[in-house]
Structure 1
Amino acid sequence: MRKISTYGHAAPGQVLKRVPYHPNHERFMNIIIYGLLEKDARLIDINGSTITRTAVAPSTASADTLPSKLLQDKPVHAAEHKLAALVGQKFADLITDKEDGLKLIFGTPESREIAADMYSHSPVNTVWIKQLEQFFERVLGRLPKDGEPICILEVGGGTGGTTSRIVPLLAKLAVPVKYTMANISGSLIAAARKRFKKYAFIEFQALNMEKMTEQVPWCDFIFGLLEGWWLFEDGRDYVLQPAIYWEKVLHSVGYGHVDWTEGELPEARTQRLIIADASGSSAERWLTPLLTNTQKTCCSITHFISYQVAILEFWAVCARYRCYRKPEGPTSWPPWRNVQISTQWQENHSSPSNLVQSNLSAKLVTERILAETLYRFPEWFHVMAVRIAQITGLTSNGYWNPSEYMPFLIKSSQVLKILPDLDGTLSWYPVNDIAAVLGELLLSQSTTDLIYHIDSPSRQSWREMIAILARTLDLGQKSIVSFAQWVNRVRDFRGSTTDHPALQLIDFFDHYFVPMSCGGLVLDTTKSSQYSKTLQNQGLIDEDLMMEYIATWKESGFLDP
């Protein structure tokens, strides 16, 4: 890895040479290694045959200490870490064919034990194996004990990790079974025959096939060096394919209905249990129900009600110590005052221990304070609170504060060379226009309500904005991926937060960005529009203004040129 590690020390913009490797590993190097360096690590850009160093800072972790740190931080993935370390130590010899990857991983008892541990206990495998166990329990458990035997073929049995989980279950169910374990390696078949000899219903067969449904970089790094990883000649450009691909293949060769397992965890997407009827017609898949907009709204309302309960308990405590003082003269409060509240309760107070101390909480509490105090005396005070939606930069010079979540999203998208495919609408409002609306509300002598909203009345499509960003950042339409993919790439990228600021807000993007910023939360501006000509005439954020924001960020160094 030393030759590749020099990529990290090259200067930004420097043209790099390819590392030497054997022609047998052409696809492995181009698709896997250089793909990881360009798309995941973002250390290089590839344009045809030219490799150029990017400005992204490399990881400072040492290759010598990284395995032990990974084992300490993520012990549940110990087998994967050990296999990656085993391959990494011999990487230069492996890609030049001085070492054989198959012998390295499966050639010694120690390495076979690590591989077997991965197949048996790694989360990426145990999730689907557990699903397979449940499937067998439900289906085979209903069959008569004296019926015809069920024929099961396990392809790519390997070290016997899956077999060791399934075979004891079949023996426990006590139904007639003919189980055939197949693998390309004669030595692994021999080891399996010895290991499972007590199960009379198992047969062993040499067979050459492969598996898995979604690209996983660590898996490619370890097994991509093996010749069998690339032995496919059926039109694919890569060994791992999504379940929908195998559905089409199974239908094309005569299978009937095809279905596969789903799950919320990443492991459930990496490996899937695919089930197909041997014949018959195909029906619609039974999809895992997603939350509808109504259900999402109900969830938001539930959280809001929970919060209001906490606020009411807060006010119950405040009521004990409330005191009133008559003001000395008329006062008008500016509506844009931003108040932070911080408090520490004594142990004998009955307030909820988990009362949220966020900026949002402080503002809501402040609104309640105004409602219960100054707003009750309109003859003395002209008071209002204004809730403001998403604020963008200035329209005059293109300045937009880069320390906000949208600039973070754009910066990380430029670094990763991907943009999220967002549905719904956005309602950005330039900061100078916000100031104009606030001034009109403040100077109006007719406002009587406590709460006013500022939100752009001109809803615009997220898809149109993402297309604008793709053009402005020179990313192209192919760079647009699903929002879930974008979040996963943000989470997995190991660059610094300077290069990759969205990582600082990963929980926000994962849980709150879509409901807050994609049309799920729209402020009613009917009352505010009565007193603000600026709000009535507010238009869209067009491509020219977005280009100004991008240009300003590039000039300041926040975005790459």
Structure 2
Amino acid sequence: MATTQAVAPAAVNTHLKSIPEHVVQDDSQSCIPFSVATAAFSGTNQVTDDIVAKSGFAGYFENVHPVQIELCISLIAESFRKLRCDLQRTKPGQKLRRIKATGHCQKQLDFCTGMLQDAGLIRSEGDELIRTDKPAPAKASKEILDQLLEEHPTVASLNNLIYLAGSQLGNIWSGRVDSVRAIIGDTNGRQYLEDVYGPAHPSKAFHMLIEDYVARLLKEVHPTETQKLQVLELGAGTGSTAKWLAPLLAASSLPVQYTFTDIGSGFVSQAARKFQEYTFMEYRAQDIEQPPPTELVGTQDVVIAVNAVHATRDIVQSLRNTRQYLKPGGVALIMEMQERLCCSDFIFGLFEGWWLFEDGREHAIAEDVFWKEAFLKAGFTHVDWTSGNLKDSGVQKVFMAINGGSAAS
């Protein structure tokens, strides 16, 4: 369990917004009225498709995802060949050599085997895998990658990450290379991952949705020096969200405190250096799977978690922990994957956290109905989420939930 310790003291932005006389200041209540929170989210929801299209993500399912599937299948076939299971040389009807992986990577290997089955290249008969008569992939993975990079440059980091992970599969499955080090330990891999979680697709469009909502809130709330707007981020990682959130908060000229937290003390220390110009930020090591420390219970107006809650054992318990940070009336903004893209299991299935779930889920990615029930079980009294008519708008969703009770309950 990570320790909870402040890394740098917070300082206050001294610019004030005029406060209407009717606003009652009460430190125990959130400075975000229910009507403001819900109206702002309704406004964001109405422009979901517009924001997704403006970001350049519209058309992903039609134009990009099918080629990414082709890339994954080519990489899997090449990895099988390296492990003496050559689809090119195996005759139709012949049994394939069964490949095994070490530890949690067996589940990712099972997913990859399923991709070959879905592509019609192999079929299962009991415990055996049988080669079909469908020709093996004709294009090499590097050729497919080059095509994607040329035709879809806005998704370059994700495509490069698929290729980086796929080119290491044989070594990872056999245990010769640690899966985390193969990606995060690689300088390019770290950058690709940071891009995918932040300024690049598929996250870019959905970060823009959160940004739109927070901007709407900032126009309507009236914090004071004695009741600053308190914002806390859980699972903040490499700072992908903080890169746009910190400038947005700074530009508002409101009295605000933004607490950056992550279970990894290395991420926290790195963030303290990266965002040192924002004097309203402080940094703490904190585990989303553990309740908040006493001094943070019931202190926050907004808690944000981006693609973090799914990677916990129990979503309800993690959301309950999240709610305990909030003041009554406080808002949780949770962004999560909703579509099972081929790249999700292909890349993130190599990380142990992808398979931690012990809460009845069949997969790390859960549908919006599951999330709604989880929020309500965790004690939130109002739940909403982004939606749109574009299929691309449903790749990830932003959930907004309001804490209607006391933080400690």
TM-score with structure 1 length normalisation? 0.47
Q: What residue number does 1:165 align with?
A: 244
Task: Give the percent of matched residue pairs that are identical in Structure 1 and Structure 2.
Answer: 29
Alignment pair present for 1:24 and 2:121:
no
| AA aligned opposite 1:15 | K
Q: Deviations over 1:361-412 (max 9, x none)?
A: xxxxxxxxxxxxxxxxxxxxxxxxxxxxxxxxxxxxxxxxxxxxxxxxxxxx
> Partners in 2 of 1:115 and 1:158 — Cα distance?
11
Q: What residue number does 1:129 align with?
A: 207
Measure how far apart 1:105 and its partner are: 2.3
Measure how far apart 1:153 and its partner are: 2.9
Q: Kindly tell me: are residues 261 and 79 of structure 1, through their superposed partners in 2, closer, same or farther at Cα, counting changes over 3 Å?
A: same
> Partners in 2 of 1:69 and 1:247 — Cα distance?
40
123-132 or 137-146, which deviates more: 137-146
Q: Is the 8 Å Cα contact of residues 106 and 173 (structure 2) preserved in structure 1?
A: no
> Partners in 2 of 1:272 and 1:216 — Cα distance?
14
3-state SS in 1 of match to 2:364? coil
3-state SS in 1 of match to 2:375? helix
Q: Deviations over 1:465-485 (max 9, x none)?
A: xxxxxxxxxxxxxxxxxxxxx
Q: Kindly tell me: are residues 220 and 60 of structure 1, through their superposed partners in 2, closer, same or farther at Cα, counting changes over 3 Å?
A: same
Q: Would you identify which runs of 4 or more consecutive aligned residues in structure 1 move more than 6 Å?
A: none
> Partners in 2 of 1:121 and 1:267 — Cα distance?
17
3-state SS in 2 of match to 1:99? coil
> Partners in 2 of 1:8 and 1:155 — Cα distance?
47
Q: Deviations over 1:106-162 (max 9, x none)?
A: 224433222222223323111111111110111221112526233333232222222
Q: Is the 8 Å Cα contact of residues 124 and 267 (structure 1) preserved in structure 2?
A: no
Measure how far apart 1:276 and its partner are: 0.8
Q: Deviations over 1:494-545 (max 9, x none)?
A: xxxxxxxxxxxxxxxxxxxxxxxxxxxxxxxxxxxxxxxxxxxxxxxxxxxx
Q: What residue number does 2:356 align with?
A: 231
| AA aligned opposite 1:195 | K
> Aligned ranges for residues 57-72 of structure 1 at < 5 Å?
57-72=135-150
1:78 to 125, 138, 156: 156
Q: Deviations over 1:205-253 (max 9, x none)?
A: 3325535333111122112111121122222221111221111111112
Q: What residue number does 2:113 align with?
A: 34
Q: What residue number does 1:247 align with?
A: 372
3-state SS in 2 of match to 1:272? strand
Q: What residue number does 1:12 align with?
A: 92
Q: Is the 8 Å Cα contact of residues 154 and 180 (structure 1) preserved in structure 2?
A: yes
1:191 to 251, 270, 277: 270
Measure how far apart 1:256 and its partner are: 1.1
> Partners in 2 of 1:110 and 1:169 — Cα distance?
28
> Partners in 1 of 2:146 and 2:368 — Cα distance?
35
Q: Kindly tell me: are residues 95 and 183 of structure 1, through their superposed partners in 2, closer, same or farther at Cα, counting changes over 3 Å?
A: farther
Q: Kindly tell me: are residues 174 and 243 of structure 1, through their superposed partners in 2, closer, same or farther at Cα, counting changes over 3 Å?
A: farther
Q: Kindly tell me: are residues 190 and 96 of structure 1, through their superposed partners in 2, closer, same or farther at Cα, counting changes over 3 Å?
A: farther
> Partners in 1 of 2:264 and 2:185 — Cα distance?
11
Q: What residue number does 2:232 align with?
A: 153
> Partners in 2 of 1:232 and 1:35 — Cα distance?
21
Measure how far apart 1:3 and its partner are: 4.8
Q: Is the 8 Å Cα contact of residues 263 and 269 (structure 1) preserved in structure 2?
A: yes
Q: Is the 8 Å Cα contact of residues 158 and 189 (structure 1) preserved in structure 2?
A: yes
1:264 to 370, 380, 389: 389
Measure how far apart 1:199 and its partner are: 1.4
Q: What residue number does 2:181 align with?
A: 103
| AA aligned opposite 1:271 | Q
Q: Kindly tell me: are residues 125 and 33 of structure 1, through their superposed partners in 2, closer, same or farther at Cα, counting changes over 3 Å?
A: same
3-state SS in 2 of match to 1:273? strand
Measure how far apart 1:4 and its partner are: 2.1
| AA aligned opposite 1:4 | F
Q: Deviations over 1:54-107 (max 9, x none)?
A: 333333111233322221121111101111121122111112222122223222
> Partners in 1 of 2:396 and 2:182 — Cα distance?
24
Q: RMSD across aligned C-alpha pairs, in angstroms?
A: 2.2
> Partners in 1 of 2:259 and 2:98 — Cα distance?
45
> Aligned ranges for residues 328-477 of structure 1 at < 5 Å?
none
Q: Kindly tell me: are residues 184 and 213 of structure 1, through their superposed partners in 2, closer, same or farther at Cα, counting changes over 3 Å?
A: farther
> Partners in 1 of 2:129 and 2:399 — Cα distance?
40
Q: Kindly tell me: are residues 8 and 135 of structure 1, through their superposed partners in 2, closer, same or farther at Cα, counting changes over 3 Å?
A: farther
> Partners in 1 of 2:126 and 2:268 — Cα distance?
44
> Partners in 1 of 2:134 and 2:210 — Cα distance?
42
Q: Is the 8 Å Cα contact of residues 124 and 268 (structure 1) preserved in structure 2?
A: no
Q: Is the 8 Å Cα contact of residues 143 and 175 (structure 1) preserved in structure 2?
A: no
Q: Is the 8 Å Cα contact of residues 120 and 165 (structure 1) preserved in structure 2?
A: no
3-state SS in 2 of match to 1:237? coil
Structure of larger gyration radius: 1
User: Whose RCO is larger (CA < 8 A, sep 6+)?
Assistant: 2
Alignment pair present for 1:120 and 2:198:
yes
| AA aligned opposite 1:246 | W
Q: What residue number does 1:56 align with?
A: 134
2:401 to 271, 276, 280: 276
Q: Kindly tell me: are residues 116 and 3 of structure 1, through their superposed partners in 2, closer, same or farther at Cα, counting changes over 3 Å?
A: closer
> Partners in 1 of 2:392 and 2:234 — Cα distance?
21
> Partners in 2 of 1:42 and 1:186 — Cα distance?
45
> Partners in 1 of 2:120 and 2:235 — Cα distance?
34
| AA aligned opposite 1:125 | S
Measure how far apart 1:272 and its partner are: 0.7
Q: Kindly tell me: are residues 234 and 82 of structure 1, through their superposed partners in 2, closer, same or farther at Cα, counting changes over 3 Å?
A: same
> Partners in 2 of 1:61 and 1:227 — Cα distance?
31
Q: Kindly tell me: are residues 213 and 26 of structure 1, through their superposed partners in 2, closer, same or farther at Cα, counting changes over 3 Å?
A: same
> Partners in 2 of 1:77 and 1:9 — Cα distance?
34
Measure how far apart 1:196 and its partner are: 0.9
Measure how far apart 1:26 and its partner are: 2.3
Q: Is the 8 Å Cα contact of residues 100 and 106 (structure 2) preserved in structure 1?
A: no
Q: Is the 8 Å Cα contact of residues 213 and 242 (structure 1) preserved in structure 2?
A: yes
Q: Is the 8 Å Cα contact of residues 383 and 400 (structure 2) preserved in structure 1?
A: yes
> Partners in 2 of 1:220 and 1:181 — Cα distance?
28
| AA aligned opposite 2:230 | C
| AA aligned opposite 1:183 | D
Structure 2 residues not aligned, in runs of 5+:
1-75, 289-307, 312-335
Measure how far apart 1:259 and its partner are: 0.8
